[in-house]
């Protein structure tokens, strides 16, 4: 039987990342509502979201095996 320790750890780590993304998306709509009258705050939120999106995309690419 193969050792599944590494695979188990990777699945747990992926679950943490997915949970974080779900939390972010769940809070995003409220953050927009809370800052609707503050264009500077809205732009800061957009910049933060762009940075997180870039980091997530890079992580997916880095952890996807080549074909």
Is residue 52 in a domain?
yes
Residue 25 lies in a domain: no
pLDDT single digits (tens) 26-58: 788 788 888 889 999 988 888 888 888 888 888
Structure tokens of 26? 């769940």
The verdict on residue 24 lying in a domain is no
Domain limits for position 46? 31-57
Report d(CA 58, CA 64) in Å as an integer. 10
pTM of the predicted structure, to 2 decimals? 0.55
**Structural domain count, the chain:** 1
- Give pLDDT, residue 38: 92
Alpha-carbon torsion angle 18, 23, 24, 27, nearest 10: 160
Is the pLDDT confidence value at 1 over 70?
A: no
Give the span between the Cα atoms of 10 and 4, in whole angstroms.
10
- Please provide the average confidence, as pLDDT, over all residues in the chain: 83
In a domain, 7, yes or no: no
Binning the chain into helix, strand and coil, the percentages to the nearest 5 are 80, 0, 20
């Amino acid at each position: 039987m193969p050792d599944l320790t590494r695979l188990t750890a990777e699945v747990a780590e992926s679950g943490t990342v997915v949970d974080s993304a779900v939390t972010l998306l769940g809070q995003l709509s409220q953050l927009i509502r809370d800052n609707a009258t503050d264009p500077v705050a809205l732009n800061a939120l957009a910049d933060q979201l762009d940075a997180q999106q870039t980091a997530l995309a890079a992580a997916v690419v880095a952890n996807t095996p080549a074909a």
